[in-house]
Each structure stands twice: as structure tokens, then as C-alpha cells.
């Protein structure tokens, strides 16, 4: 029997890129998947690719990045009436390139933090407490290994916030059966990574599944790099 057989996972931003690869990897482990993207049409390709694994697949479409948009996605997940065992917070955006960190508009800081941090917090607030009640869960917050790029300060700062948030929640969740981790997918050829990245998006596996497959009782709050598991 596959380790995740019968579990349910919500993977945000799984209509393409890293999120799609994570969804495929989870399905290969027998996990049922709720695919998320901005629209039903954007999710169709991932849904089609998941059919080969014989798992149950649902879709929760909606635009993350505002309180109303986040709640709409949460409501769409709830409407499926399945217990989410795995929350994979993958959806995110990168900030626009700026010549100097001092000239980045505050609106850009707000835009990036809204989806990279605040949407993650709202999803965690909605979906982790039921995992605690059931005594089992895995949460993965996608982070980044970006450094020395002041031109992308909002993005790198948002990911640093995710790292600290993940460590804080790990303390809250200690002994609950729910294990939360952060994951750096690496520099990959994606919408965020760009075409100059050294590896294709497929290289995120199998490393991206490591924090989901942790043994019960493992420590939470750890930072994993997908590239370490090639």
C-alpha cells in the first residue's frame, strides 16, 4: 500500500509549474488531490495529467491575494466536503525587478506580501485546526533560497517571513500529529525562475515530497531543499 493512499492534499498554484509537479508526485503516492488555479480552465491540464494515477481529483479555483479571494478558495475547498490531510502552500509571486531596494513602491511590497504571506496564513488558519482535531497532517510552505538580491527585496523578505512563520507554527503544533515544514524548490525553469534557470521544473521531485512523507513524530519547523534529494 502506498504511504499516502486515501489521503487528501490541497496544492495551491498547481495548475502549472512546481505545484503541478507536486500534485503529480502526490498522486503517484496514492494521494487524492485538490488542484488549485486561478480558474477552472487553467486547472484542466493538471487534472488531465492526474487521471493516469487513478486517484480522486477535485478543483478549487480562485484568485489568491486578497481576503475575499482567499476566502473564496477556502470556501471552494470546503464545498468538496473532504478532509484535507496535506496543505501544500505553493502559490506565490515574485516581485518586479528594481534598480534599488530604496525605490520599490510600497504597493509592490503589499502586493507580494498579500499572496506570499497573508494568503498562506489564511489557508493555514482555515485548514490546520481540523488536522489537529484528527491527529494527523502535513503542511509545506514553499520558501526560497534567494539571497543577495536587493532588487527583489519584497520577494526575499516575504519568503523570510514564511520561514519564521513556519518555525513558529511548528512550536504551536508540537505533539499534535501535524508536521509543518518549509521547502526551497530550487532555481528551476518556471514562471518565477525564468528560462535561465539551470534545471527543469521536473527536478523538484522527489525532494518536494520529502516533508510530506516524514515519519509520524518527526520534528516540525525544518527547512528542506528539493535539490538535496536528487
- Find the CATH number of the domain harbouring 72: 3.40.50.720
Residue 139: predicted pLDDT: 99
Residue 1 predicted with pLDDT over 70: no
Mean pLDDT of the chain: 95
Please pick, among 53, 88, 155, 165, the residue that the annotation labels catalytic: 155
Give me 69's grid cell.
Answer: 479571494
Q: Is 2 a member of any domain?
A: no
155 carries an active-site annotation:
yes
Q: Is residue 84 part of a domain?
A: yes
Render pLDDT for 55-113 as a digit per residue (tens, 0 to 9).
999 999 999 999 999 999 999 999 999 999 999 999 999 999 999 999 999 999 999 99
Q: Kindly report which listed range (45-49, 139-143, 144-148, 223-227) carries the lowest average pLDDT score.
A: 144-148
Please give the average per-residue pLDDT across 154-166, as a whole number.
97
Tens digits of per-residue pLDDT, 184-193?
998 777 777 7
Is 46 domain-assigned?
yes
Q: Residue 30: is it exposed, middle or buried by C-beta count within 10 angstroms (0-12/13-18/19+)? A: middle
3 in a domain, yes or no?
no
Question: Is there a domain that residue 1 lies in?
Answer: no
Question: Does 214 reside within a domain?
Answer: yes
Beta strand 8-11 with 32-37 is: parallel
Residue 91 lies in a domain: yes
Report the pLDDT value the prediction gives residue 148, as an integer from 0 to 100.
82
Domain extent for 148: 8-229
Amino acid at each position: 500500500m502506498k504511504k499516502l493512499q486515501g489521503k487528501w492534499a490541497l496544492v495551491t498554484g498547481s495548475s502549472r509549474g512546481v505545484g503541478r509537479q507536486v500534485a503529480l508526485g502526490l498522486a503517484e503516492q496514492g494521494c487524492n488531490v485538490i488542484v488549485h488555479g486561478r480558474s477552472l480552465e487553467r486547472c484542466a491540464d493538471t487534472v488531465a495529467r492526474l487521471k493516469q494515477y487513478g486517484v480522486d481529483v477535485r478543483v478549487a479555483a480562485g484568485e489568491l491575494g486578497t481576503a475575499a479571494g482567499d476566502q473564496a478558495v477556502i470556501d471552494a475547498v470546503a464545498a468538496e466536503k473532504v478532509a484535507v490531510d496535506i496543505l501544500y502552500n505553493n502559490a506565490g509571486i515574485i516581485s518586479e525587478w528594481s534598480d534599488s531596494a530604496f525605490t520599490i513602491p510600497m504597493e509592490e511590497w503589499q502586493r507580494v506580501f498579500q499572496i506570499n504571506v497573508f494568503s498562506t496564513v489564511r489557508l493555514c488558519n482555515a485548514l490546520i485546526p481540523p488536522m489537529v482535531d484528527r491527529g494527523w497532517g502535513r503542511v509545506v510552505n514553499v520558501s526560497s533560497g534567494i539571497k543577495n538580491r536587493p532588487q527583489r527585496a519584497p520577494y526575499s523578505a516575504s519568503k523570510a517571513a514564511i520561514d519564521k512563520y513556519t518555525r513558529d507554527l511548528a512550536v504551536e503544533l508540537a505533539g499534535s500529529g501535524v508536521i509543518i515544514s518549509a521547502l526551497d524548490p530550487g532555481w528551476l525553469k518556471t514562471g518565477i525562475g525564468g528560462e535561465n534557470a539551470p534545471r527543469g521544473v521536473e527536478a523538484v521531485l522527489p525532494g518536494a515530497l520529502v516533508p510530506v512523507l516524514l515519519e509520524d513524530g518527526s520534528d516540525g519547523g525544518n527547512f528542506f531543499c528539493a535539490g538535496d534529494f536528487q
